[in-house]
A and B are shown apart, each in its own frame.
Chain A
Amino acid sequence: MSESFERYRSNFLREVEEKVEEGEWVKMCMQCGVCAGSCPFGPHWEHSPQKIFMMIRAGKREEVLSSDSMWMCTSCYNCIVRCPRKLPITHIMHGLANYSHRLGMAPKGQPTRQFAKLFWDNLVKKGRVNELKLTMKHYFRNGFSAGIREAMAMKEIGQGMMKAGRINPMEFFGGHAVKDLSGFHAMLAKAREIEDRKKGFSD
């Protein structure tokens, strides 16, 4: 671990401000509790945004970055519209999720994170989401028999979607790509390069 990284470790708030999307807003939170009280998750998660922001300021790096709360946020925006300080709460939560993922500290086996990864990998391949493959991968994430069971349970919906043209069975054999696939990949590589520079990832 580099020396500069160690320096930030002692000041987690500064690290968040510099490296997490919208992280510079965290210090503006006045701990009023409106976001926590407005979130549809209610008691069903460990760390509300209010708590996460206080933990960041208290330097609880490990607990924040390994929390699964950021992954549970559904982007309903209830907190954003009500926050009296207008913090972009949803975006900070996603920024934290992304940052902890890049650091390899995100909780393993967290279902939303797993699906997010599936979605991303699927999307990157052809520049389009291959709905059929995404669905299959998702169903079979816990092994073959669990996948069959889940697929059977969803059979009617799947058939309906095929009829309506929302899922094309031919997509199973590769699927179609965006027009300039190599251009698309170059674009993503560039974006990644910029992000790495900003967040201090050199690998």
Chain B
Amino acid sequence: MEKDIATNQTILVIGGGIAGISAALEAAECGRQVILAERNALLGGRTLQLYRYFPKMCHPTCGLEINLRRIKANRNLRVLTMTEVVGVSGRRGSYRVKMKIHPRHVNEKCTACGDCASAVSSEIPNRLDYGLGKTRAAYLPHAMAYPMRYVIDPSIVGTEEGKRARQACRVGAVDLEMKEETIEIEAGSVIWATGWKPYDASKIQPYGYGRFPNVITSVEFERLADPGGPSGGRLLRPSDGKEAKNVAFIQCAGSRDENHLRHCSRICCMASLKQTRYVSEASDAKSTVYYIDIRAIDRFEDFYRKVQEDPSVSFVKSKVASISLDEASGDLFLNGVDTEGYHRYANRHDLVVLAIGMEPESLGMALPEDVVTDSSGFIEGGFGAGAASSPLDVNRSVQSATSAALFAISDIHRISATEEAS
């Protein structure tokens, strides 16, 4: 017997990454009322922080463009940016959702002319670049941002800089009085598209991330390779800005490890294989991939084979035991034993990229009782979309988003049918 009674038929999608956008569009295009809440100032999630993506090596913005057009064309979908979901209570059919709206200090009148940015000089770490580069405190979060609207950083509100930004705006879009707000809404079904975050690399003590400047993570490497990133697309190492010529990729950094993440993060083998292409395309540099085993998920085995044929890429079957620093040059020695022959090595590299594991962004968030997670915290049972449900690539994230949308639609139908029957 079904006891639930749907008091609400709105579907809430939490997270505006590729999975959240897809799930929201699928449900909205089926005629349901959908709210899409994204805590950042723009839609797109972490794919926007990739330079290009496998398997076709296309730019993340091209996939996004079609979706943005679909969003603009749909009247059932309401997009809320800078809106962070901080708590969900209740159960299927009637959830109460608490959201925090962070002040953008720019209203909908903004034409993205950029005058406010020219008027200020203070800089903040660029979040898009994982803090590797800097941006003005009045900024457009991405060249392709949706919504196409500037953001004034709270750090200049109440300062002369803030005033300058307001004076520069000819359409009166800068609003320095905006305050953080907390609102509560109701929803009949919730799709979790909260995505993933990179595992904290500094916890992998023997690799020296945070202590050795030329040990970076794979997500940071994406930003280095991106012409729109902090180094203009050149693979410059952090310690001295020299071009990297001998790059090491360490697989399973934090994944498949009982001391860190238990699961295989599934995309990082493909991500590193892809990143060796960035290296070989950029210069005459070499790549070396240190791995336990290469898991090129299903039909991507071809991609792996092509990389194997590239003479600038070599493979060492070994999980690196530790990294030591050569103080004088900033180079790094990778220490370990390879499994094919048990040879001991201490190999020198000028840049080390940790293929960092993915963990669910929803960790630590209070979930309603009927949301079940696996032992790593990924959301099970159909209402998780994309990387919130499992470490998935973009393609599979979109597939799982469609499935989650179907679950949500059938769920509010089923429950409201019961309501009518009673």
Contact = CB atoms under 8 A, between A and B. Distances in A.
A160 interface: no
A84 B342 contact: no
Nearest to A48: B337
B258 A36 contact: no
Nearest to A86: B258
B337 A84 contact: no
Nearest to A79: B321
A154 interface: no
A89 to B, nearest CB: 13
A122 interface: no
A168 interface: no
Interface string B98-135: 00000000000000000000000000000000000000
Contacts of B338: 33
A34 B342 contact: no
Bin the interface of chain B by size.
Answer: 10 to 19
A84 B293 CA distance: 14
Interface of A: 30-38, 42-43, 48, 50-51, 81-86
Chain B contact residues: helix, strand, loop or mixed: loop
B336 A37 contact: yes
Nearest to A38: B321
B292 interface: yes
B318 interface: yes
Nearest to A51: B342
Contact of A42 (B206, B256, B320, B344): B344
B337 A37 contact: yes
Contacts of A30: 256, 292
B258 to A, nearest CB: 4
A84 B257 contact: yes
Contact of B342 (A36, A42, A82, A85): A36
Given A42-B344, A43-B344, A33 B318 contact: yes
A35 B206 CA distance: 12
B321 A33 contact: yes
B336 A84 contact: no
